[in-house]
């Protein structure tokens, strides 16, 4: 599993890489990605079938990861993936 950024000026930059979890082919998997805003810059968590598998804490002093507008992309390597639905829901406090 990898988390990274891709920009026209810099190219691709990997922020986090882990050898697990490994996913099984032919099995439906539900991904949930949450982002909690904090003074430090925010925390992005990836959940697979309701299990947290990745947590990235953004250091606002080093990266403006969550303050720039842009696109969200999902990427797979050496596999064919079918995404039947994708939904973005803004999370608000209170």
For residues 58 and 42, the answer to whether their CB atoms sit within 8 Å is yes
C-alpha separations of 70 from 6, 18, 30, 51 in Å: 10, 25, 23, 27
Domain map of the chain by residue range? 29-66
CB count in 10 Å sphere of residue 49: 13
Higher pLDDT, 41 or 58: 58
pLDDT band, very low/low/confident/very high, at 60 (cuts 50, 70, 90): low
Query: pLDDT tens digits, residue range 1-25?
Result: 788 887 777 788 888 887 777 777 7
Answer yes or no: is pLDDT of 39 > 60: no
- pLDDT for position 38: 65
């Amino acid at each position: 599993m990898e988390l990274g950024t891709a920009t026209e000026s810099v190219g691709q930059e990997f922020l986090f890489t882990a050898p697990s979890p490994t996913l099984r082919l032919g099995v439906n998997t539900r991904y949930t990605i949450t982002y909690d805003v904090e003074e430090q810059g925010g925390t992005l968590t990836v959940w697979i079938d309701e299990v947290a598998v990745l947590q990235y804490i953004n250091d606002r002093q080093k990266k403006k990861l969550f303050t720039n507008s842009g696109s969200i992309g999902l990427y797979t390597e050496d596999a064919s993936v079918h995404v039947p639905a994708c939904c973005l829901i803004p999370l608000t406090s209170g």
